[in-house]
Amino acid sequence: MRTLTVILMAVSISFCFFIVPSYGADVAKIGVVDFQRIFGTSIAGKQAKAEIQKQGKQMEADLKNKYAEIEEIKKKLEREALVMSKEMRGEKERDLRIRINDFKSLQKRYENSMRDVEKKFVTRIRKELFEIVQKIGKNEGYLLIIERVGVLYSPKTVDITDIIIQKYNASFAEKAEDKSKVKKAE
């Protein structure tokens, strides 16, 4: 009886040391993605940034022209204020205030428009990136892929941003090629 107890204890101890750890042998594969770097270095991100800057410069040029008009009217009003009648000066000042208010509202509209354009590009790129991340996660057996924003530390070995940039650039080039074929067919 005593030998049976000793054998059972030895078997249970060996079970704990040799068999149980084998269940935990699967290593969790985790990836970290830096979306800001993707936006800055991918082809689509660079094109989006260029388009946003182009539209921004057009709006800025328009605002500069409107501001120059207002400044010219202001200078003209200051020069001619002494020789104008009180009614005429009041009318010109009212016109100037209206133009300044129009300028401010145009500036706000342009700011909102720029935010909308930026949001549209970022949303489109994020959607395309999430599809690529999903495929990489499934195909390469990742347990978890997270965005770098909330990560305080991670080793470079878990950073898969470069892989995603390569796949995204290939996907983007393929889509651009398909678009050019459709345009040529038309």
Q: How many CB atoms lie within 10 A of CB 113?
A: 13
pLDDT at position 135 is 94
Residue 182 confidence (pLDDT): 65
Tell me the chain's radius of gyration from C-alpha atoms: 32
What's the rounded Cα separation, in Å, for the pair 164 and 123?
A: 17
User: Is the whole-model pTM more than 0.85?
Assistant: no
The pLDDT score that the predictor gives to residue 18 is 54
Residue 150 is predicted with a pLDDT of 81
Burial class (CB in 10 A: 0-12, 13-18, 19+), 122: middle
The predicted pLDDT at position 131 comes to 93
Half-sphere exposure of 92 (CA within 13 A, CB side): 19
Q: Which two tokens stand for residue 123?
A: 């949303």
**How confident is the model at residue 183, as a pLDDT?**
64
Q: List per-residue pLDDT tens for the chain, 186 residues long.
A: 666 565 655 556 655 555 544 455 457 889 999 999 999 999 999 999 999 999 999 999 999 999 999 999 899 888 887 888 888 888 988 999 999 999 999 999 999 999 999 999 999 999 999 999 999 999 999 999 999 888 888 888 899 999 999 999 999 888 877 766 666 666
Task: Give the residue from 183, 179, 171, 177 showing the smallest Cα distance to 45.
Answer: 171
Write down the pLDDT at residue 7.
Answer: 62
Q: Which of 174, 148, 175, 173 is nearest to 162 (CA)?
A: 148
